[in-house]
Structure 1
Amino acid sequence: MTDEIPIGGICDPRFAPVREAFIGNFRERGEPGGAVALMVDGRLVCDLWGGFRDAARESPWARETLVNFFSVGKAFTALVALRLVERGLLDLDAPAATRWPEFAAAGKERVTLRHILSHQAGLPAIREDLPDGAMFDWPRMTAALAAQKPWWEPGAAHGYHVNTFGYLAGELVRRASGRTLGHILRDEVAGPLGADVYIGLPQTEHSRCAEFLWPSILPERPPGELPDDALMKWNTYWNPPGISGAGWVNSPEWRMAEIPSTNGHGTARGVARIYAALANGGAIDGIEILSSAMLAEATTEQSFGPDRILDRESRFALGFQLPQAERRLGPNDAAFGHFGAGGSLGFCDPAARVAFAYVTNDMGPRWQNPRNKALLAAIYESVG
């Protein structure tokens, strides 16, 4: 207990600045509840949790508390797809319609998995108005995407596929393997590594979940007919209305569904464990989750520049975010990972042999989050 903030876990004395930054998040930066984990050279040197898992502040965060980490899961979505590329079940540069024939409609016959994983497919939003709850209907969502005309010429620009990314990659995974992306993640990556990470959370695990503190009221759609660009951006986040999680994020339906872009759940320790394997060339403790050659391609820049959705620059490899001047992942350019709404973050820095995760139950600042920035600074203060 630190000044009435419940803090638990372990931290190697060398990494005391990380602990101090974590405590500072509660004292100075409004953190309600969360956890951090840091692994160096494959060893867990910091595993901390603190605050409360509920809005009433009655239930302290515990070692095994799970929380929705939103877009942190995009990297794990890509990881599963890339494992199938290694097996020859998917091809980065073959038309997606080779595995998903219906997808060739409306000018998408040349869209590839590479386009999808690097946010260049031109499919960040569905134009057809869908009712709230449709995001739980996988066939309906994937059929709508298969019928959708790209909002821009695939490969000619990029824009963050906030919520469609997981359906697009996930349907290719399903068509190629006969299994869902979430099941492959558990059976072939998280399970073997002992990483407490899920896309599609079994109901037996719901009692461990933190309440995510996000208003349940959906925003009102601007009146009148929207210009095409504005419609694309609105529908990216709000078609169907609850696709980003608003109004649903704490429900059993949301937790159990597989919405790979958005509704991954886990502990910080679990996220860091996966990144520890990636920091080590794709394998740890004799468990390979991706070959070193595939990992090298997966972390090579694919798109960088003005983002059609975010209205700022963004930089992507194959499913991983790469450092850019205004959003660094420490001092080393070889770092890669993925941020999530609220400031959650999973990343690794192979040059420093670092793997890190931060999870939270608060929808704090997204693009520039003072909590994860303080933690990042503390990591590199510690490792020197």
Structure 2
Amino acid sequence: MDIKGSCSDQFSAVQEVFADALRNGTDVGASVAICLDGELVVDLWGGYADEARTLPWQRDTITNVWSTTKTMTALCALVLADRGELDLSAPVAKYWPEFGTAGKDHIEIRHLLSHTAGLPDWDQPMALEDLCDWEKATTLLARQSPRWDSRTTSGYHRFTHGFLIGEVIRRIYRESIGRFFADQIAAPLNADFHIGLAAEHDHRVSEVIPAPGPAPAANPRVSIPVGAYVTAQDTWSTHWRRAEIPAAGGYGNARSVAAVQSVLASGGRTSSARLLSETTCRAVFDEQSHGMDLVLGIPLRFGIGYALNAGDAPVSTPNLHTCYWGGRGGSLVVNDLDARMTIAYVMNQMSPLGLTDPRSQKLLRAAYRAVTR
């Protein structure tokens, strides 16, 4: 299987791992990118953009990256915090007054960013059309009570994360989070990532391919009722593409994910723009929770907007100041502020293994061998 793009000699092992996954069929179509000190040193893509394997994955192919989108939403909040327009320790109700009801008056912005707010889902079923209705989704969340009281215990906010943070940003910026991201982050960085996809990009979208086999069994540790559920096939709809679903509906490829997230790993600046101060970048590592996540049923350590490096976590690296998150199906982005490195992987073939997906784990290990040898 031919792959295209560029790769520095230092990271040749990453190219070999990537090529092997395409060759053996583990991947159908995919991309991997690495930025070091804000410079793109790996930019590879290959395989096919369709399940029938008739359309080549191109340089500008993009796909739905699911919850890797959350890292973009978090970055929007960090940019506003860096400008002094958002206080991460302020009550959410300071910016969104309607939120401060039903026992939520003490929930702070940092709790939204760390999945510790106790609002992991809606109290009622939410169909696809409900998730595409911003006013309905946010109004319902403003009326809910938290499902637990501890603000130091995480329970993954699968879809609510983006609506909660997005509404705060809308109240401050007077525009949607998709517009904020496009104007204030993607444009300065010239990054091809979208929260809410315009029709002009439809022709280059690779639809995600559902994971083979039955859905994984429910985790016995988890008893949080599910209000919103979306299938891979739901994301093929125009309705999903056009909506701004900032916890799971972002479109991009590894290059664009790395281009945006490398701002964090390189101390707030890339070759084209400075978006954050070093101080704000380091604020990500203010630990908010560490333990068994009430929704995912796995040990996680959360900081401000990102999961943090930890020995008991599904993603672990040699360096202390590493933060990450990934998307349903297997996409992943890792920011290492000590190595000043960002690693991004985006694919169309979904896997049920999430953060433990061997495809991303092998790429991660190869990247660290390259910078530590």
TM-score bracket for this pair, using the shorter chain length: over 0.9
Distance 1:193 1:83 in 2: 13
SS of 2:118's partner is: coil
Contact 1:29 1:370 in 2 (8 A): no
The CA RMSD over aligned residues, in Å, is 2.2
Note closer, same or farther for the CA distance 1:131–1:47 as it changes in structure 2 (3 Å cut). closer
Distance 2:212 2:181 in 1: 29
- Any conservation in 1 of the 2:284–2:306 contact (CA below 8 Å)? yes
Match of 1:226 in 2: none
Task: State the partner residue of 1:341.
Answer: 328
1:199 aligns with 2:186: no
SS of 2:123's partner is coil
Cα deviation, 1:75-133, whole Å, max 9, x if unaligned, reads 11011112222333322122111221211221111111011111110000111233442
Where do 1:342-381 residues align within 5 Å? 342-364=329-351, 365-381=353-369
Aligned residues: 366
Separation (CA, whole Å) in 1 of partners of 2:245 and 2:45 = 26
8 Å contact 2:332–2:346 — kept in the other structure?
Answer: yes
Q: Does 1:135 align with 2:131?
A: yes
Aligned twin of 1:155: 151
After superposition, the Cα gap between the structure-2 partners of 1:154 and 1:142, relative to the gap in structure 1 and judged at 3 Å, is farther
Q: CA deviation at 1:216?
A: 12
Is 2:276 aligned against 1:290? yes
**Counterpart secondary structure, 1:106:** coil
- Could you tell me how far 1:316 is from its partner in structure 2? 1.0
**Other structure's SS at 1:287 match:** coil
In the alignment, structure 1 residue 114 sits paired with structure 2 residue 110? yes
Deviation at 1:249, TM superposition (A): 0.9
Q: Percent identity?
A: 39
Query: Tell me, which stretches of 5 or more residues in structure 1 are unaligned?
Result: 223-228
- Work out whether residues 95 and 111 of structure 1, in 8 Å CA contact, stay in contact via their aligned partners in 2: yes
Q: Scaled by the length of structure 1, what TM-score is found? A: 0.90
Cα drift, residue 175 of structure 1: 0.9
CA distance 1:164–1:218, shift in 2 (3 Å): farther
1:261 maps to 247
Displacement, 1:156? Answer: 4.5
CA apart distance, 1:299:
2.7
Contact 2:73 2:166 in 1 (8 A): yes
Equivalence map 1:193-342=2 (5 Å): 193-214=189-210, 230=223, 232=224, 234-235=225-226, 239-242=227-230, 245-285=231-271, 287-325=273-311, 326-342=313-329
Residue segments in structure 2 that go unaligned for 5+ positions in a row: none
1:307–1:100: structure 2 CA closer, same or farther, 3 Å change rule? same
Q: Does 1:169 align with 2:152?
A: no
Say whether the 8 Å CA contact 2:315–2:355 is kept in structure 1: no
1:169 positional shift: 0.3
Q: 1:92 to 1:41 in 2, by over 3 A?
A: closer
1:377 and 1:311, CA in 2 relative to 1: closer, same or farther beyond 3 A? Answer: same
> Structure 2: how far apart are the matches of 1:30 and 1:158?
32
